[in-house]
Amino acid sequence: MSGELGKALAQKVTREMTREQLEEHIANTLNKVKMCTLVTSKDDIPRGTPIEYFSDGLTLYFSPDSGTKTENLKVNPNVGVTIYNNVSPDWENDWQTILGIQITGKGELLEEGDRDYARGAEMIHFEGFLRALGRDETELPKGRKILKMTPSKIELLEYGLITKGFASKQIWNAKT
């Protein structure tokens, strides 16, 4: 590799961000990108669903329609999320913008009255969705479930971190 990417990778930068730096960086990134693939499973059959998410720090909230993913969650709370940006295949110029995040953790379906439901509804901004549908934004959806995902591990791949002196792959683990 003789290009800029090759030179950066040849440096073999291995410096990790501090926990605080990494948490802040991931939280900021989660606020910029809003779509992901949510993976659930039941009976060893995975289901990947493109879905919009809303972040509160490292915690993710979703407003899932009923279906396979919600049925899977009822029997298996282990979930995965993949988030990535859309870049052109111009490796010479765009390599610094490549971003991928893999999150594993626990999913919890919340119903009205549950402890974290109000926070989830606040993060999801149902009002804007209702406005877009031409409905009264004060009439929040009744019976709507919210999925809260609490991460146990986050793996970040971001080549641009190399230019800041950090390894392109950073891993965050929940405190046990």
Q: What pLDDT digit, counting tens, does each position of 11-43 carry?
A: 777 789 999 999 999 999 999 989 999 999 999
pLDDT at 1: 42
CA atoms within 13 A of residue 12's CA, in its CB half-sphere: 0
Which of the 8 DSSP states describes residue 46? E
Which of the 8 DSSP states describes residue 140? P
Q: Tell whether pTM > 0.85.
A: yes
Query: Are 109 and 70 in contact, with CB atoms under 8 Å apart?
Result: yes
pLDDT at 8: 65
Mean pLDDT (the chain) is: 88
In terms of Cα–Cα distance, which of 159, 60, 168 is closest to 107? Answer: 60
pLDDT at 70: 93
Structure confidence by residue, pLDDT tens digits, 85-141? 877 666 666 777 888 999 999 999 999 889 999 899 889 887 777 788 788 777 766
> At 164, phi and psi to the nearest 5?
-105, 5
Q: What is the distance between the terminal CA atoms of the chain, rounded to a whole angstrom?
A: 41
Distance in angstroms (rounded) separating the CA atoms of residues 62 and 74? 15
In whole angstroms, how far apart are CA 108 and each of 21, 36, 61?
Answer: 27, 17, 10
92-117 core/surface letters (b: 16 or more CB in 10 A; e: else): eeebbebbebbbbbebbbbeeeeebb
28 by DSSP, 3-state: which? helix
Query: Are 91 and 65 in contact, with CB atoms under 8 Å apart?
Result: no
Which of the 8 DSSP states describes residue 18? P
Structure confidence by residue, pLDDT tens digits, 65-97? 888 999 999 999 999 999 998 776 666 667 778
pLDDT over 70 at 143, yes or no: yes
> At 151, phi and psi to the nearest 5?
-75, 145
Which percentage of the chain shows pLDDT scores above 90? Answer: 60
Q: Which CATH architecture has domain 16-87+99-173?
A: Roll (2.30)
Distance in angstroms (rounded) separating the CA atoms of residues 164 and 6? 16
Residue 50's H or E segment, with its range, is: strand 45-52
| Least-confidence region, from 6-10, 100-104, 139-143, 158-162 | 6-10
| Least-confidence region, from 16-25, 137-146, 158-167 | 137-146
